[in-house]
Structure 1
Amino acid sequence: MDDYVPIPFTLLKLPQKSIDVVLRRMCIEALVELSFTSKAAMQQTKHLGIKTERFIIAINSNEILIDVSGCRDFRFYTFECSTPSHHTVQKPIRVHVGFRGERWETPFFGVRQFLNHLMEIFHQTKLDSLHISTADPECSNELKGMEFGWLSMMSMTSDNNSSQDEDALRQFSGKTDSICLNRNPFSIEPSKQMQMILTRNMNVVSTKCDLNDVFVTNARSFTAFLKIEDVNIFLKHWMHRSDRKLKSAWFDLDAFRWDVEDVLEPLFKGIAYHVAPADREFIVHLPKKLSGCGDYRVIGGYDVRRNDGMTATIIVADRANVFLKMFFWI
């Protein structure tokens, strides 16, 4: 950074209370920079006990973004930080601090070393989210073995990168209990390959898939893009099941084909349902990735009951498109 004034090395020779006072007045990016200067500086930064609200990494064709808080991010570029295993000299990582637009370089760290360093000083044991828009084999190799709370692969559109997308999905889907996909990347036996992932014990699944994939999805909550006729079949299938793991299912319908008033007849064709009182309310706890806040207030809706006493409450939401929200409860 051109206007950055280095912290005097004598800072770390002050009494501990004085060090704490100075460090706690520093902005987050200055603390991160200080932590790279020496092992002692790293330990002092870690000693502050700072815990981030979230720890997210995103990979696209131009850069890697590391978000270690709710308001600032650190950017460094793949062509600068790629570190093939046969290289003995690691390239520096260029970091961009989001709000202030300042730039500086870390010591000679690779992607994994950089992440491990940040996770240690911010007292994190795993990443909250990994978002991939363009799979990068070298970055995937750097992140091998890391666990993620949420895996998102939402912009996989190039057939040229299909094998890389497949490898990334296989690698990272086993390290998370929640995935979000915008397409099936597998080119050979796509349904079989995808179902091998969807049958794992999952918390949240959001994907564009067909009805057969939905049937085998083993998740507490899922979001899918289906035709209204397929949602009707799914609901009939649910009525004859006995599992109680599924807590919510959200279906995105075609905005150009359906208005709210046109949904009910095909949705409930051959299904007995009841209109819930308009003032009935109950709270369900959903993953924040679905509800935004964890607790979701369900008001009114349409009830379908199965023989074991479970009830599916369906909310027809009219937003930019028609969206069906199903909640399963006793």
Structure 2
Amino acid sequence: MHTTHIPVTRSLFDDDCYTYEKKLRESFEAWVRSRKGNRSGDRSQRELREESMVVYREMWDAFTAFCAQRQLGLQDILPEDLDSFLMSRGTGHDSTRPLVRTKGDELSLRYARRYLFLIDRITCLQARVAGIEANRAAQKLLERPEYRYANAEDKNPIPEYLTTAQVKRLIAHVTQIYDNADGGAPISWKEARNRSAVAMMLGAGLSPGDVRAVDVSGIVVDGGRKAGLPWKIHVPGNGNSPPRDTPIAEWAGRQLAFWLSVRGQQKIQGDRLFPSSSSGTAWSHTGCFESCKAVLQAAGLGDATGGLFMLRHSFALRQLSKGKTEVEVARYLGLTDVNSMRRYRGILVSPADVV
């Protein structure tokens, strides 16, 4: 069994002026700066989008806390340390213990692979600047089959999605404006936000990142079938997908209209449709994830294994079932490669007018 050890080598920032935490944070910021202005065709080298930077910084913060507690610099890390870290995040490969779900992204081997790539890139940059040989701990783990082939086509399972009964149950929950069906106290503005965000994932196919990026100005009301009801939303591009207009299911449009009224009553500032605070600050990756997962749990879907993206998959499947083409649905989802729609072939679901 691997035990905590005292580092015996010195990293780039190893001096008495910095704590381990400060050194690790500076390593991350140096990596971000190294990519600034880079328009390389290699996605792993080009400048980071703000959305990606926020996610990577949250990931790195967790890794920083782990290393600082053990007084580990990047040059000191062993493969066993990374195994321990991934296991603590619920991403490790250990058949003897269940995965532990913690704050952050969906926990999977693919997410673990993403973590290892991040650690490896920052470690290599630090070593290159210092003129020393890079620590290969992360690379060694990436050579393991479970991580090396985590993105392989045969590792891409059939997407999780909601049944028609689950869809109806979730819609019934998110459209309640009181704490319970018997007419309890009105829900708080943040709960209204959370439920409306989930409504847009299920009723418009938005991803969590889309939910956090859309502005109030992107809501389209004019020209719809129901006067005064939002029926379409403009989603800005994010580097991986182009800007797009996505239709909103009628029930989700009503929920969105309710949220807009709450937003106005609370005098929420800024242009973000779903902000973190009344001052209009951006909703964090972790904050959005945790808040929306709580909505699913409150609706009785806590055992569903597909995470938030099963809402998006449910939207796509029902659009296809209602006769929309793969090209149309791919456009709704912001997918530039229509071949991504292959995952939905062979899955038959009810058209369910509710989505």
Give TM class, smaller chain: under 0.3
Q: So what's the TM-score if we normalise by structure 1?
A: 0.23
- RCO higher in 1 or 2 (8 Å CA, sep ≥ 6)? 2
Which has more strand, going by share of residues? 1
Q: So what's the TM-score if we normalise by structure 2?
A: 0.22
Which has more helix, going by share of residues? 2
Larger Rg: 1
